[in-house]
Copies of this chain bind each other. A is one copy, B any other.
Amino acid sequence: MTSPPCPLTTTVLREQVQVHVQQFVAEQAMQLHQISPLLDPLAQAIHTLIATGKRLRPAFAVWGWWAVASPTQREQREQVIAACASLELLQACALIHDDVMDASDLRRGQPTVHRQVEQLHRRQGWQGDAANFGRAGAILLGDLALGWTDQMYFSSGVEPQTLLRAKPALDAMRLQVSAGQYLDVVAQASGETDQAALERVLDYKSARYTVQGPLQLGGLLADAPQPVLAAYATYGQAVGRAFQLRDDLLGVFGDPIITGKPAGDDLREGKRTLLIAYALTHATPTHQKEVHHALGQPDLDAGQVELLREILIQTGAVRHVEHLIATLRQQALTTLAQLAPLDPHAHQALEELALAATQREH
């Protein structure tokens, strides 16, 4: 038995998300320009930021919708893609503000927004502290992107009642990402090592925001029945946690050319992850001391990064996290398989997303 060809493919979806976000941002850039050409650098910075990206959130949302959408609902495909593409603007805000909080220099291989705006201040030879100015510009651009999120969502062309039905999922995502980020900075500050507390950070900052939330949004847009939404929650939590665990591994072991971030960046920032917590629990006293000493030192050199990596491998922390990822992925795939009959194209796409999100190199 073969299914008819699906008008929605992963490639089509990515392209359409791209077109919709770029078009919306271009319109807003025009508005900013009309207020004053002095605002052009902010428009340019967000244009650059949204030009790339994995588009994971819109993908989960659109496939979560398509999986259970009726033939009539599917006629609104393009409008729903536009509504879900608005999640890229929420993500843009999260990245811009996160980079300010972490004082990061690079994002997606480019200078972060606050560094770009700081450079503008220097080039213009303006008065006052350039770094402060850069941070101010980035805070305000993040605010713009956050405000644009629901504006784009409501201007997508989907019927208002449908959009309002799914809006609580968008509201929840905004709450969860900010709450999760705060719990993350608290975990770094308090040197959190409790596994349950670190898992909560994972859940809110990543799993709910990256996978569960978008899937719920898609499900609600299609008016999915409760069992489907529940299965999305299970699949979403598993994939989302695995996604963040992969991120934690990449933050230590990732190739800077592929990740676009300096090697071992998370170690210099002193990120408290499950990877680190496991290593600390299982390291020799000498190695524990080494980790405590080195973690969060902004000037860690390549040799020190290498030593920390060795400890993470020797303690079995890397193996443990890889095992967790594999288990979570399997749990996600089983949940999907049990949710028959799902549209076969959506099923396949959600399987592929589960793999892509957890096996990625950046």
Residues of A that sit less than 8 Å from B by CB: 28, 31-32, 35-36, 38-39, 42, 93, 97, 100-101, 103, 121, 124, 126-128, 132-133, 135-137, 139-144, 146-147, 150-151, 154, 160-161, 164, 167, 171, 174-176, 178-179, 181-183, 185-186, 188-191, 200, 204, 270, 296
Instruction: List the B side residues contacting A93 at CB < 8 Å.
Output: 143
Give the oligomeric copy count.
Answer: 2
Q: Are A151 and B171 within 8 A (Cβ)? A: yes
Q: Are B127 and A178 within 8 A (Cβ)? A: no
CB distance from A331 to the nearest CB of B (A): 23
Partner of A190, one of B124, B132, B191: B124
Cα distance A57–B189 in the bound complex, in angstroms: 38
20 contacts between A and B (CB under 8 A): A31-B175, A35-B176, A35-B183, A36-B183, A36-B200, A38-B186, A39-B182, A42-B182, A93-B143, A97-B140, A97-B143, A101-B139, A126-B189, A128-B188, A133-B189, A144-B175, A144-B178, A146-B146, A147-B178, A154-B164
Instruction: List the B side residues contacting A36 at CB < 8 Å.
Output: 179, 183, 200
Q: Are B183 and A137 within 8 A (Cβ)? A: no
Q: Are A175 and B146 within 8 A (Cβ)? A: no
Instruction: List the B side residues contacting A127 at CB < 8 Å.
Output: 188-191, 270, 296
Cα distance A101–B144 in the bound complex, in angstroms: 15
Instruction: List the B side residues contacting A150 at CB < 8 Å.
Output: 150
Cα distance A141–B97 in the bound complex, in angstroms: 12
Nearest to A103 among chain B residues (CB) is B132
Q: Are A161 and B160 within 8 A (Cβ)? A: yes
Q: Are B128 and A179 within 8 A (Cβ)? A: no
Q: Are B189 and A128 within 8 A (Cβ)? A: yes
Instruction: List the B side residues contacting A42 at CB < 8 Å.
Output: 182
Nearest to A97 among chain B residues (CB) is B139
